[in-house]
Amino acid sequence: MRYSNEHKQQTRERLLSSSGALAKRGGFSSTGVAGLMKAIGLTGGAFYNHFPSKDDLFTEVVRQELHNSPLARLATQGASRERLGRCLQQYLSLAHLHNAESGCPLPPLGVEIARAAAPVREEAEHWLVDLHQAWSATLEDDQLAWVLISQCVGALMVGRMLATEHVQSQVLDASRQFVEKALHEVG
């Protein structure tokens, strides 16, 4: 074979990573297969050597984005309350708001996940339940864990809909202070 299996695997990984970033920035359905391939220096025709369809790519993109999410890393390690707090302060930052392509997949891909077929939503649910379980253990509060997850996703969504950085900062500041207060109150 002119190309090693290792090369194919690397191409697949580059495609997944690049497509995740492009999807988070401009939307998955809005980005054509040709554009996704061009972003890693290939042409559209080569795509189908790696995925049977664009929908399959979306499934894998969601899987990989969730797996690589900074929030998920908090879940696997039993994180301390302080570690969780530092992570959420970063999450609720202007830097994160302005860089969707390298940030959490939930706000930019959430709607497309919501409208996707059952397997994608099952993947998302499993990941969210794991995350919730980990945060619940840290916070010793089942409900607060869901509230914080919703708060983070919502604040980023609302912030990104706004036109001026001034108001974006208001939203993020309010969320950040609320999260910090909530983390110190319980337990």
Partner DNA sequence: GTCTATACGATGATAGAC
Partner DNA sequence: GTCTATCATCGTATAGAC
Q: Is 8 in the site for DNA (CB under 7 A)?
A: yes
Q: How many Cβ atoms are within 10 Å of 159's Cβ, its own excluded? A: 22
Q: Is 61 in the site for DNA (CB under 7 A)?
A: no
The one segment of 36-44, 89-97, 119-127, 177-185 that binds DNA by CB under 7 A? 36-44
Which residues between 126 and 155 bind DNA (CB under 7 A)? none
DSSP characters for 87-111? HHHHHTSHHHHH-GGGS-SHHHHHH
Closest CA to 49 of 41, 57, 59: 57
Cα distance between residue 68 and residue 73, in whole Å: 8
Binding site for its own copies (CB under 8 A): 26-27, 29-30, 106-108, 110-115, 118, 121-122, 124-125, 128-129, 142-147, 149-155, 157-158, 160-164, 167, 170-171, 173-175, 177-178
State the DSSP code for 3: S
Residues interacting with DNA, by CB under 7 A? 1-3, 5, 7-8, 11, 29, 31-35, 37, 41-50, 52-55
